[in-house]
Structure 1
Amino acid sequence: MSIRLLAVLVLASAPTAALAQSQAGLAQLIAPQTFSAYLDLRATASDGEKSWLDGGFGKTRYGGEGARLSVGEAAIAWNPYLTSNLDAVVEGEIQPDHDHGARIGEAFVRYRPLPIDGVHIAVRAGLFYPPISQEHEGLFWTPAETITPSAINSWVGEEVKVVGFEVSARKAFGEREIGATAAVFGFNDTSGTLLATRGWALDDVKTNASGRYRLPPLADFMEYVQAEVTNPVRSLDGRAGAYGRLDFKPTARLSLDAVFYDNLGDLRSFRKLQWAWDTRFLGLGATFAIDDNTRLMGQAMIGDTRMGYGDPWVNTGFSSAYLMATRWFGEDSVSGRIDVFSTKNRTDPEYGLTQEHGWAITADYKRKLGRHLTGLVEMLHVESDRPARTDILSEPAQQTQTVVQAALRLAY
C-alpha cells in the first residue's frame, strides 16, 4: 500500500481542513499537544522452538533464544483537531525485530457530530483496526493490562487491518446502552494466510501499511503456489469486504458485543503468488465488573479461511477463546488469562496439514512508575500440537514454550 494512497485517505477532508486552518491557524494543527510518543523497552527470556517471526512454528514473538534486551516498539502519533467535530490520526511505528524501518501503523480521519436525540454517531475513513479487541486501547493500539494479548487479538494485530469506511451509532437508556457499527473495506485480501500456514500465536506484533511476514516452512505443494511471505495490507481482487458489530450494555457492570467480519475474497485473484483468501469469522465478547476493582473479560471467535482455484487448496476452520481476570490496586494491577485455540484441516492432506490445537496461560503484574512511565512483568506458557511440524520439519508435533519478559513503557 502506497504512502500516496494513505495521504489521499487522511486528507480526504481537505476542504473542511482548509476552513479549520483559516479559523484556528496552522499552529494549532502542529501544536505539541497534537503529538504523542510511545516507547517499549523489553527484557526477555524464552525457551522452546524457533519463533514464527524467524521462520519456525513457534507460538510466541521470542522463542528458543535465551535472554535478550530489545526495543519492543517505538511509535509517534499525530492527532490534530481539524474542527471541533473532525480530527485525524496518523501513527508511525517500528518494531525492530521483525520489520526494519518506520512504517505507517494507522491513518484515518474521524467525524463525530453533536448527538441527535441522544444518539452519538462517529464516522471514520482510512487505515485502521476493526473494533474487535477488548484488550487494546489508545492511539498506539496497545494491550492495556498485559504485554501479550490473547491469541484472538494477536491475530487481529497481525492480519486484520483494513482500509475502510466505518459508521457507528450509540445511545444510552439510563444504565443501559446499545450500539451498532458497520463498515466496508478493502486492502485485507491476504487475511488468513498466517492462520492457516502457521496457526495461532500469542504476541504483540502489529502489521502496518507496507508490512510483510515471512511464512513458516510450507508443504511441498504449497511451496509452488504460495509466496514465502505475506503482506496483510494488500488489495488483490478489487472487492470490498464488510464487517458489523453490535454492543449491548444491560447494566453498568456488564457489556456484551458481537462482531461479524467477511473479506469476501475472490479465490481466483493473485499477484506474484500472493493470493486473495476468503476469510470470515464471528466473534463474541463480554466484560463483567465484579466490583469497582475486579473485572472479568472474555472473547470467543469461530471462522474459516479458504484459498486456491476451484475446490480450495486450503480450507481451514479456526476457533479460539480466552477468559481474563484483572484486579486493580490503585493504579497497579494483576491479571491472569487462559487461552484455548484450534484449527481444522478440511481439504486433502497433500495440500498441507493445517490442523492444530493448544492452550496458553498468561500472568501479568503492571505498576505505575510515574506520570509517563509504566512497568510490566509477564509469564507466558504455551502448549500446542501441530502435525505440520512433523510432516515438514520432522520435529515433534507437540511443543511447549515459556516466555518471561519485562516491559518498560514510556508514553507521552
Structure 2
Amino acid sequence: MIKILGFTLGLLSTGSVLAVETEWHGLLDLRFGSADTLDSYIDGGMGKFGQSDGQQVSLSQLGAELALSWDSGISGHLVANAYLDEEESGIGLTEAYLKYRSLPGASGYRWQSKAGIFYPSISLENNAFAWASKNTLNSSTLNTWLGEEIRVLGAEFMLTRLGKIHNSKHDFSLSGAIFGNNDPAGAMLAWHGWTMSSRQTLWTERRPLPDFEASRPGNMLSNQAKASDPFLELDDRLGVHVKARWKYRGKGELSSGYYANNGQPYIVIKGQYAWKTRFYHLGGKWRLAKGLELSGQYLNGDTLMQSPDKVDVVNNDYASGYLALTKKWRQHQLTLRGEEFSVTDNDNTPGDNNTEYGKAMTVNYRYHYAKNWFFSGEFNWIDSERPARRYIDQPVELTERQLQFSARYFF
C-alpha cells in the first residue's frame, strides 16, 4: 500500500508540476525523565510509562509530515516518526494517505475523503504535527492506547454542513470509514493494561508482550506470538468507524462515535490472533473564558479472542476517560488532567487475569520560549490495581510516578 501511495504521489507530481504545493512540518522532542516504576511496557514489562525505572535522556520523538497539494483539492500525506531511548528505538511510517477536500457547495455542504493508512478520527489531544500531543508530554491512557493499537488501512468519507454559509456558528459533520489491517487490536490492552506515554507504534513494528503464566510452555496461550503485530489483516473482513461532530465556532465542539474491527476472534495465523474489538467514544472541548479550556474524552468497549474451536480465551470489557483543564496566559500554559481506567476480565482462562482498575493525574507547565521552541515540565502519577503483576512477582497494587523535562522544536 505504501508503494502504491508513493507511486501515485510521484505520478500526480509529474503530471502537475506547476500546480503542486509542497509542505514539510514536524517536531523534535528531547527529554530528560526520571521514573519510579517497573520495566516499561515498551520493552515487554508491566511498567505503565514509556521509560523504565530510573533516569534517562531520550529523543522522545522526531516526527515529520510531508504534504503535497494540488489545485484539484487532492493532497498526499506521509507521516514518519523516530524514537531513540533505552527501551526500544525505531524509525518508520505512522500514516500514509491520499485526501480529497471539495469546495463548499451553494447549499453550504462540503465533503471530503481519504484513503490509505491513518488514525481513525478520535483523539482530541494528539492534534500537533506527527500526531503529537500539544498540551502535555504524555498522552492520556485513552489516547496512548490509540497510538499503540488503533490504526487502519482503509477509506473514510465525511460530509460537513458549514454554518457560516447559513449565517450560523454551528457546523455539523458525519463521517464513516471502512478498513482492514487492525485485527490483533486488543491484545496489548489485555496483557499489559492501560499505559501512559507519547509513543506511537510504527506501521511495521511489533510490540513485545509481558510475561504471564498462561503464555508459558504447556499452558493455554503458549502458541501466542511473543510480540503483537497490531496492524495485520487476518480474516479478510472489513471493520467500520462512524462519527458525528458538532462544532460551535469560537466556543468548542462535541463528538461521538463507534469503532468495530469486525474481527473473527477464532482466526490465528503464525501466533497472531484476530480479536473482535469494538468501542464507543465521546469527546468534547469548551472555551470557558479567555485562555481557559476544558476538554475530555471517554471510551468504553469490549474485546474477544477465542481458540480455533471457538472457546473464549480472552473476553474483556474496558473503559478509560479523562478531564483536562488548560490555562494560557502570555508565554505560559498550565494543564491539569485527571483520569480513570479499567479492564474487566469476563473469561476463566487460568493464568491470565486481565482485570485492572486505576486512576492517573498529570500536571504540565509549558513555556513558549521562541517562535518554534517550547520548554515543558511534567509530572505523571498512576495508581493502579492489576492482579497480573503477580505473574512477575510484583505487587498487585502499585503507584508509579514520572517527572519529565522537555525541549520541543516545531517546524
* TM-score calculated relative to the size of structure 2: 0.93
User: Could you say which residue in structure 1 is the equivalent of 2:145?
Assistant: 155
Residue deviations 1:133-174, cap 9 Å, x none?
A: 000113311101000111110100111011110011212331
* AA partner of residue 367 (structure 2): R
Q: How does 1:12-411 map to 2 (within 5 A)?
A: 12=8, 16-21=12-17, 23-24=18-19, 34-65=23-54, 67-97=55-85, 98-116=87-105, 117-173=107-163, 174-220=168-214, 221-249=219-247, 252-309=250-307, 310-350=310-350, 352-390=352-390, 392-411=391-410
Note the alpha carbon deviations across 1:309-347, whole angstroms, 9 max, x for none.
313200011011110000011343100000000000000
Change (3 A) 1:259 1:170: same
Identify if the C-alpha distance between structure 1 residues 134 and 55 changes in structure 2 by more than 3 Å, giving closer, same or farther: same
| Residue equivalent to 1:8 | 4
- What letter matches 2:77 in structure 1? V
Amino acid across the alignment from 1:53: I
Kindly provide the amino acid, as one letter, of the partner of residue 93 in structure 2: I
Distance 2:256 2:133 in 1: 20
Q: Distance in 1 between matches of 2:148 and 2:13?
A: 32
Q: How many residues align?
A: 399
Q: Deviations over 1:344-391 (max 9, x none)?
A: 00000415100010000000011111111111110000011000111x
Deviation at 1:306, TM superposition (A): 0.8
Query: Deviations 1:275-322 (Å, cap 9, x if unpaired)?
Result: 111100001112111112101101111101111231320001101111
Tell me the CA shift for residue 192 of structure 1. 0.4
Give SS of 2:322's match.
strand
| Structure 2 unaligned blocks of 5 or more | none
Relative to structure 1, is the Cα distance of residues 313 and 155 closer, same or farther in structure 2, using a 3 angstrom cutoff?
Answer: same
Aligned equivalents of 2:53, 2:47: Cα separation in 1: 9
C-alpha displacement of 1:125: 0.7
C-alpha deviation, 1:258, in angstroms: 0.3
CA distance in 2, matches of 1:236, 1:213: 17
Instruction: Say which is worse superposed, 238-247 or 68-77, in terms of deviation.
Output: 68-77
Q: Is residue 363–residue 378 contact of structure 2 (8 Å, CA) maintained in 1? A: yes
- Quote how far apart the aligned CAs of 1:68 are: 1.3
Cα pair distance change 1:58/1:368, threshold 3 Å: same
User: SS of 2:342's equivalent?
Assistant: strand
Gap change, CA 1:195 and 1:409, over 3 Å in 2: same
The residue type paired with residue 267 of structure 1 is P
Q: Deviations over 1:41-85 (max 9, x none)?
A: 0100111222112222111112312x2111101122211113341
Alignment check: 8 A CA contact 1:380 1:402 kept: yes
Residue 177 of structure 1 and its aligned partner are, at CA, apart by 1.7
Percent identity of paired positions between Structure 1 and Structure 2: 28
Moved more, 162-171 or 245-254: 245-254
TM-score scaled by length of structure 1: 0.92
Q: Provide Cα deviations, 1:103-144, integer angstroms capped at 9, x if missing partner.
A: 111111111111122112111111111111000113311101
Q: Deviations over 1:173-227 (max 9, x none)?
A: 3122211110001111111011111110111110121011111112323541311
- Secondary structure of 1:266's partner? coil
Distance 1:166 1:108 in 2: 11
- Give the unaligned 5+ runs of structure 1: none
Contact 2:173 2:246 in 1 (8 A): yes
